[in-house]
Amino acid sequence: MIAKFSESVRKNIKDILLASVFIVVLTVFCYFIEYSLIIPFFLLFLGIHLRHCGKGTFKTFLNLGLLLTLILFTAHVVIFYTDWPVFYIPVAGIAMLTMLLFNDLHLSFLMGLASSVLVSVFLHGDFGMMMTFFLGSLAGVYSVRDARARDQLMSAGLFVSVIHLVCLVLLNPDVSLFIDKAFSRNYLYPLASNGIFSALLVVATLKIFEQLFHVLTNFSLLEIADSNRPLLKRMALEAPGTWQHSLTVSQLSEAAADAIEANPLLTRAGAYYHDIGKLAKSEYFTENQMLTDNKHDYIEPSMSRLVILNHVKEGIELARKNNVHPIIIDFIPQHHGTSLIYYFYQKALEVAEEGETVSEENFRYPGPKPQTKETAIILLADSVEGALRALDDPTPMKIEETVKKIVNNKFIDGQLDECSLTLKEIDKISSTFIRILSVMYHARIKYPEKKNGNSIRKSTEKGSAQPSPDSQDYKDDPSA
């Protein structure tokens, strides 16, 4: 505990020192190129605010500073190297990029404000210019939130342009101005197209900033979760049982993440890849043993332990070899945490000779425990899905009992200690699992066998509640 505290203090001091050096260098730079010295002072207070909000690591500060540098550089180019009106500068694009990259409304609001203030100061603009850029930035932020398609970016750009024009009308209520050519050239046309330029800036630079900041946007997550990717196709062919298990876990996890306002798309992508290590020895996992005996019946529990544990290590290696993003790779070790391989631990106790000790620690996964809400959800969904598959008669009551028991055991075992899940969120996750699994395992009506084509007609004549032959349930019944 003391070591962790010392490491945290050292990291905080390092971040503060690096941020201070950055501000000093920026101040010197602004002084020599005759930029306003209010710019580094403003950024200093922005960093202080981020620090107090718990978002102020030096990495975050540097990333946001890079985005602000981009828009200031664009403003510099427009002023000194073109004769374009200044309202062509795509300020809203910075706030839109922040929303897509960090998925954080608070950060996006701050960046919209910061970029609008800095550009207005740099251009010696008035309050009306700053408010126009700021409100346009907010419109862009809300429009691209949770965006999953490229056309949503262009729609956001159009919305930004509309808000800019509304601001222009409110700031200049004299209608006669809008038929003046100079006014249209300097204000109307630039603001009408500014949103499109902002959207184009986002499209052009989004992938670059994803690589620089080591983050995943919804667009990248959709690409990663594409079932046609080589690694996922290989799983579907070589370990079909594991693939079906992963699909079920993804369905449970995505719904649970949505219920607690975590990242459902990241959770789905993580669920697809969490068990790819089973590809190395797929026949040793029960979901793939459809036509063969259980291979663990013929080996010692200690060997079974190694096979089970190694699927985590092999999964990490396979993911790195296939250039899977590190954020997705984190799901592979964390979806088991430090859980006990209970079945083989008990089996080892049963076969142990008198006086022989079996260490529980040897039968635990190496971890780490889940560090985020998304990885914690995968851990719970994976355990619940495996337990439900082992039930002989999964009635709604048994499903609810099993889900609550599994989730409670993981909580008591300390597997959720290092993530930020609250008790209320854990309860929501359990309720979501129960609802979805109850639908998956719902009971079907047992239909009578068809004998000489008369049974259904006779049942109908007696007034029973059997479905008609053309109903969908009847068509799906294999005995029909």
pLDDT per residue as tens digits for the range 206-243: 999 999 999 999 999 999 999 999 999 999 999 999 99
Count: domains in the chain: 2
pLDDT at 451 over 90: no
Task: Please report whether residue 448 resides in a domain.
Answer: no
Residues 12, 59 within the same domain: yes
Residues 272, 195 within the same domain: no
Rounded mean pLDDT of 189-195?
95
Q: What is the pLDDT of residue 441?
A: 81
Higher pLDDT, 409 or 292: 409
Task: Please report whether residue 111 resides in a domain.
Answer: yes
Residues 116, 160 within the same domain: yes
Q: What is the pLDDT of residue 210?
A: 93
3-state DSSP call for residue 459?
helix
Q: List phi, psi (to 5°) of 364.
A: -105, 145
Residues 140, 172 within the same domain: yes
- For residue 344, the domain's CATH number is 1.10.3210
- Rounded CA gap, 141 and 108, in Å? 7
Q: Over pLDDT 70: what percentage of the chain?
A: 87
Residues 140, 257 within the same domain: no
pLDDT at 36 over 90: no
Task: Please report whether residue 58 resides in a domain.
Answer: yes
Quote the domain boundaries for residue 394: 228-440
pLDDT at 470 over 50: no
pLDDT at 288 over 60: yes
Nearest Cα neighbor of 371 from 440, 421, 441 is 421
DSSP state, residue 228: T
Residues 210, 243 within the same domain: no
Task: Please report whether residue 473 resides in a domain.
Answer: no
Residues 205, 234 within the same domain: no
Residues 306, 397 within the same domain: yes
Q: What is the pLDDT of residue 393?
A: 81
- For residue 115, the domain's CATH number is 1.10.1760
Q: Are 74 and 97 in contact (CB under 8 A)?
A: no
Question: At which of 215, 236, 261 does a domain end?
Answer: 215
Residues 274, 393 within the same domain: yes
Rounded mean pLDDT of 82-93?
94
Task: Please report whether residue 56 resides in a domain.
Answer: yes
DSSP structure string for 269-320:
HHHHHTTGGGGTTGGGSGGG-SSS--GGGGS-HHHHHHHHHHHHHHHHHHHH
Task: Please report whether residue 208 resides in a domain.
Answer: yes
| pTM of structure | 0.81
Task: Please report whether residue 452 resides in a domain.
Answer: no
Residues 45, 170 within the same domain: yes
Q: Can you say whether the dihedral through the CA atoms of 241, 246, 249, 255 is positive or negative? A: negative
Q: What is the pLDDT of residue 2?
A: 46
Rounded mean pLDDT of 155-183?
92
Q: Are 168 and 123 in contact (CB under 8 A)?
A: no
Task: Please report whether residue 190 resides in a domain.
Answer: yes
Residues 253, 349 within the same domain: yes
Residues 211, 233 within the same domain: no
Read off the tokens for 43: 């950024």
Peptide bond into 368 cis (omega under 30): yes
